[in-house]
Amino acid sequence: MIVLNLFLLFFPLTVNFDHFQILRAIGKGSFGKVCIVQKRDTKKMYAMKYMNKQKCIERDEVRNVFRELQIMQRLEHPFLVNLW
């Protein structure tokens, strides 16, 4: 138990929004924005897309969000993150 807790302390299994600092916006779409972000602990930079869940629901765009997810799951490219 202690070993697992120490492991999780040094190697967290989840990453959330708080692990990143937003540097600047680089794009905007129907249901979200894409920003350049920097991971706080490693200082590595990434592009992060995030969406406003409430706006997706209000605009009845939920189906489109899931369609985009399905498309992204099928793509394989070195510059894209794999989604499972």
User: Which residues line the annotated binding site?
Assistant: 49
d(CA 57, CA 40): 31
State the Cα torsion 11-16-19-25 to the nearest 10°: 150
The 3-state DSSP class for residue 1 equals coil
Q: Residues within the annotated binding site for ATP?
A: 49
Whose CA is closest to 17, among 60, 59, 53, 68? 53
